A and B are shown apart, each in its own frame.
Chain A
Amino acid sequence: MAHGCWTDRSFGMIQLIHVSKDYGSEKKALSDISVEIPDGDFVFLIGPTGAGKTTLLRLLTRELLPTEGQIIIDDEDISLVPESQLFLLRRKVGMVFQDLKLLMDRTVAENIAVGMEVLGKSEEEIEKGVVDVLGLVELADKANFFPVQLSQGEKQRIALARAIVAGPKVLLADEPTGNLDPETSEDILEILQEVNKMGTTVLVVTHNSLLVDAHKKRTLTMKEGEIVSDETKGKYRFTKRAHHTKKHEEHKEERKEHEKED
């Protein structure tokens, strides 16, 4: 995979640097976003409908390309990844889709297994991985069920299981608790936290403010295509993009110096 210009791991697992995205209309879906999410962080992304949350996630999986700016994941500028190599990026960045995207003609176990099959794992590894992850999402007894036979909460868990079974470095979850009762939502959050404890960087998009308040995690708030706050446990963390712009400039200087030394 092509390497981006950012080589300093300490600068963060995910970096968005002056990222904008417009779909051709006057109003930008994302406007000059700069943010960094370090390795192993757990972050909530909240905001009203149309704030640009899903656009941001789709940029992180390279379903979309930014109109301006850079997106760095695991030291690589993902805009530079050729189409033919995108699958390598998507193996690093697991995604729980809002519409789940389950394969309806496959069983629960097969839906999860496909997450490992695409990595070329052996049948033994896949079998073990599926059993382990089914245990984690507490659906071991429904391995041979089809998605239509499951409740919404169970389907959410299957989508989550498929995303985590491949062991991604980053896990993006788009409304993983949407339409779920508080208890099931809490279960899903617990699983996500378990995954985070294993070292995976987790970014959760949600409308569920109760859940966000209950878990004292870093929270990015978006509004009209901008990040308007970045808080942890109610503590204001950054003042919009000023901090990132400064850090970005510092890093560019550092890089120039490194290049001269080389």
Chain B
Amino acid sequence: MKKKTSSVWTHIRRSPYQSFAAVLTMFITFLLTGIFLLTTSLSFAILQYFESKPQLTVFFMEKAGKAEADALTITLDATEKVASTKFVSKEEALAIYKEQNKNDPLLLEMVTADILPASLEVTAKDPRYLAELEPIMKQADGVEEVVFQKDVVDSLLSWTNAIRNVGGVLAILLAMDSLLIIMTVIGMKIALKKEEIDILKLIGASPWYIRMPFILEGGVYGVTGAFAAWIVIMALVVGFRAHIVSFLGAIPVIQTVLGDMLSTTSLLISGGFLVSMVLFGFLLGAVGSLVSLGRYIKF
């Protein structure tokens, strides 16, 4: 193994520009694929959060409150189409706001309970009833706005799908590009070492003995590119963490993962992400080398 490793290192060292091109291509592939993967995951987390929220939220005017909410609750219950209602007072809204923005003292200073509206969260027995319930709420006393959660979810869903589709296509194209670059680089290296390969064949080297250094070389390109991409992605995540948490901290998954980057969950997720990227990098590099070997060396 020691010999094989040193042989791989010698291969890489003797043609540094080709090796750099291969690593750089792998790096770009994994960087963009990784960013798209994280963006898609983030979108799904946001989507799931909104899907789990009440289907309708009624926001009351500044001076309205518990009495208007109780009256509306009675009206809604009479329809027998409402599964549950929950009143959120101005004070409770402030408490939620404080929890969501606990890392940003500036935002906390600017807000008091007075400027946050009281609200009533409504869940229908069946989503089909929402259209019938909405006019009742809008006509009720003290109601300022009715937020239809379905609109938010639909909009998020279409964004998530778009990100996933564009990211998926781009990832496939980049992976193909990396594969072709690896095939070309390894092909050139095979051509450079043709004489040595012929000698090895004549002295009884098995096909795998000859193939292995090239496969490992392709794997090293993949692993290096993927590892470098992971470091950059992690640096981006750490850099944007405060902003993400301040905007999306209400979403439990985001709070768990990004709230404390040194928590066990956070470390496990970033470690798993690294292992997946490195494994996929090795696989991509090794497959590129194998295809090239099949093309240029006949056994």
The DSSP consensus for interface residues of chain B is helix
Residue-by-residue, is A101-122 near B (CB-CB < 8 Å gives 1, otherwise 0)?
Answer: 1010000000000110111100
Q: Is B299 close to A, CB under 8 A?
A: yes
* A103-B196, A118-B209, A123-B2 given; A166·B299 CB < 8 A: no
Contact of B3 among A90, A95, A117 (CB under 8 A): A117
Closest CB-CB distance, B285 to chain A, in whole Å? 24
* A83-B298, A103-B196, A123-B2 given; A95·B202 CB < 8 A: yes
Contact of B204 among A84, A87, A97, A101 (CB under 8 A): A87
Residue-by-residue, is A68-97 near B (CB-CB < 8 Å gives 1, otherwise 0)?
Answer: 000000000000000110111011001101
Closest CB-CB distance, B299 to chain A, in whole Å? 5
Closest CB-CB distance, B6 to chain A, in whole Å? 10
Closest CB-CB distance, A254 to chain B, in whole Å? 32
Q: Is the CB of B199 within 8 A of A101?
A: yes
Q: Is the CB of B201 within 8 A of A87?
A: yes
> With A and B bound together, what is the CA distance between A105 and B280 in angstroms?
34
Q: Is the CB of B200 within 8 A of A118?
A: yes
Contact of A115 among B203, B206, B298 (CB under 8 A): B203
Q: How large is the interface on B (under 10, 10 to 19, 20 to 34, 35 or more residues)?
A: 10 to 19
Q: Is B205 close to A, CB under 8 A?
A: yes
The chain A residue with its CB closest to the CB of B196 is: A103
Residues of A with C-beta under 8 A to B3 = 117, 123
Q: Is the CB of A166 within 8 A of B207?
A: no
Q: Is the CB of B299 within 8 A of A84?
A: yes
Residues of A with C-beta under 8 A to B202 = 61, 63, 90, 95, 97, 101
* A84-B207, A117-B3, A119-B204 given; A103·B199 CB < 8 A: yes
The DSSP consensus for interface residues of chain A is helix
Residues of A with C-beta under 8 A to B204 = 87-88, 90-91, 118-119, 166
Among A90, A94, A162, residue most surrounded by chain B Cβ atoms (within 10 Å) = A90
Closest CB-CB distance, B7 to chain A, in whole Å? 10
Closest CB-CB distance, A72 to chain B, in whole Å? 19
Q: Is the CB of A114 within 8 A of B299?
A: no
Q: How many A-B residue pairs have CB under 8 A?
A: 48
Closest CB-CB distance, A243 to chain B, in whole Å? 32
Q: Which of B186-210 contact A (CB under 8 A)?
A: 196, 198-207, 209
Residue-by-residue, is A130-172 near B (CB-CB < 8 Å gives 1, otherwise 0)?
Answer: 0000000000000000000000000000000011001000000
> With A and B bound together, what is the CA distance between A226 and B207 in angstroms?
35
Residue-by-residue, is B76-112 near A (CB-CB < 8 Å gives 1, otherwise 0)?
Answer: 0000000000000000000000000000000000000
Closest CB-CB distance, A164 to chain B, in whole Å? 11
> With A and B bound together, what is the CA distance between A119 and B198 in angstroms?
16
Closest CB-CB distance, A60 to chain B, in whole Å? 12
Residues of B with C-beta under 8 A to A117 = 3, 209
> With A and B bound together, what is the CA distance between A114 and B199 in angstroms?
10
Residues of B with C-beta under 8 A to A101 = 198-199, 202
Closest CB-CB distance, A73 to chain B, in whole Å? 13
Residue-by-residue, is B50-74 near A (CB-CB < 8 Å gives 1, otherwise 0)?
Answer: 0000000000000000000000000
Q: B residues engaging A (CB < 8 A)?
A: 2-3, 196, 198-207, 209, 298-299
**Can you sample 26 A-B contacts with CB below 8 Å?**
A83-B299, A84-B207, A87-B201, A87-B204, A87-B205, A87-B206, A87-B209, A88-B204, A91-B204, A94-B203, A95-B202, A95-B203, A101-B199, A103-B196, A103-B199, A115-B203, A117-B3, A117-B209, A118-B204, A118-B205, A118-B206, A118-B209, A120-B209, A123-B2, A162-B203, A166-B204
